[in-house]
Amino acid sequence: MLKSIIIIFILITICSCGHAPLSTKVIERKINETVYASGNIESSNQYQLVSLVSGYIQNIKIEEGDQVNKGQVLVVLANDGGLIALKSAELNRNFSDIKQNKNKIKELKSSINTAKLKWKNDSIQLNRKKILVENKVISENDFENFEVMTLSSKSNYTSQLLQLEDLQKQLKLNDELGKKNYDLSNKQVKDFNIKSEIDGVVFTILKKEGEMVNSQAPIAIIGSNNDYILKLQVDEYDITKIKLGQLIKVKLDSYKGQVFEAKVSKISLYMNEKTKTFTIEGRFINQPKTLYPNLTLEANIIIKSNPKALLISREYLFNDKYVFLKNGSKKRVGTGIMDLKYVEIKNGLQRGDEIIIPNEN
């Protein structure tokens, strides 16, 4: 009985003494302040192949994985109506061509010359008639009739000059419209042959022959097969911290355990209102050997860095400004960069100083 009482007393004594406080020392090492971003890989110059006109796919000339050249015809749409419109526009252009209507101008100019000669002849005769009427050889009435006839021939001459001017303007307008309509129809016919915008590779084909397409329905995805960029989404609260050229640490699900480096190459000026994020682009410093579009990634953009910082574990910092020394006294410190595990001590402690997490009384 006495032995049991002694054992219980010892256990109570041990428990009442408590545990020694946790302690650590101030260390010196590198620390980075980062902004987290998620995103995916995208091929440089990647774009959706679309048709500028509506129609049915007649022939797909490519397969997935094919290398293509800029200007190469990739897809052909059925275009019977477009060819008919082009032929009609060609006929109208030829009909409206100024050179084809030069006889109309020639005939009118000939008529103008005749009208001019008649007006000049009538004018000469009118002067003679004036002398005759003054000498009372002819009557005033005859002279007035001839005067009216002269004015009429002048009016006819002037009218035909205006007709020539109007005809030339109309023919020029018809000629220009005919050529424009032909060029437009010709362009539309060419639009039925969908060409590659870049030298690249066909990543995927989204349509089949016989399907209907328009400008809203992508046919394929084309891009560069050896040059990739990072597309990152950064929260609106962090966007002001991001600058061009900042280092990015990248982790890819396809390369487990590896970290790649990139640099910020472009910062979007427009926020996605739905996700409240900005799109940031990055370029690999050393690009992985094998990449594919839409590979997912996680990244940390380094916005601040100190290669020789005095650090303590974050759990040893209280109220963001106090630490407890080994003797139990509280001391105020200045802090700097902070990551998930460590906080930089700018002043108040030195390398090797020991601090504790005091036991609760």
Task: Note whether 211 and 74 are same-domain residues.
Answer: yes
pLDDT, residue 166, reads: 79
Residue 2 in domain: no
Task: Note whether 24 and 123 are same-domain residues.
Answer: no
Residues 296, 278: Cα–Cα separation, whole Å: 17
Region of 54 (left: φ > 0; alpha: ψ -120 to 50; beta: rest) is beta
Task: Note whether 71 and 213 are same-domain residues.
Answer: yes
Is there a contact between 137 and 64 (Cβ–Cβ < 8 Å)?
no
Kindly give, in sequence order, each residue whose CB lies less than 8 Å from that of residue 242, ignoring residues fewer than 6 positions away: 35, 234, 264, 267, 278, 280, 301, 303
3-state helix, strand, coil in the chain (%, to 5): 35, 35, 30
Burial of 215: CB neighbours in 10 Å, binned 0-12, 13-18, 19+: exposed
User: Could you give the maximum distance between any two Cα atoms of the chain, in Å?
Assistant: 176
Task: Note whether 297 and 353 are same-domain residues.
Answer: no
b/e map 74-90, b = 16+ CB within 10 Å: bbbbebeebeebbeebe
pLDDT, residue 179, reads: 67
Residue 202 in domain: yes
CATH code for the domain of 280 = 2.40.30.170
Residue 14 in domain: no
Where the chain has pLDDT below 70, the residues are 1-19, 79-101, 175, 178-179, 181-190, 360-361
Task: Note whether 132 and 199 are same-domain residues.
Answer: no
Last-in-domain residue among 283, 306, 329? 306
Task: Note whether 85 and 153 are same-domain residues.
Answer: yes
pTM of the predicted protein model: 0.58
Task: Note whether 244 and 293 are same-domain residues.
Answer: yes
Residue 42 in domain: yes
Task: Note whether 230 and 207 are same-domain residues.
Answer: no
Task: Note whether 63 and 40 are same-domain residues.
Answer: no
Task: Note whether 24 and 53 are same-domain residues.
Answer: no
Residue 11 in domain: no
Residue 103 in domain: yes
Task: Note whether 140 and 210 are same-domain residues.
Answer: no
Last-in-domain residue among 290, 306, 322? 306
Task: Note whether 186 and 315 are same-domain residues.
Answer: no
pLDDT, residue 22, reads: 87
Q: Where are the alpha helices (DSSP H) in 41-101?
A: 80-96
Residue 63 in domain: yes
Tokens matching residue 329? 């006294």
Q: How many domains does the chain have?
A: 4
Residue 136 domain boundaries: 79-191
Residues 335, 312: Cα–Cα separation, whole Å: 10
Residue 231 in domain: yes
Tokens matching residue 310? 């005095």
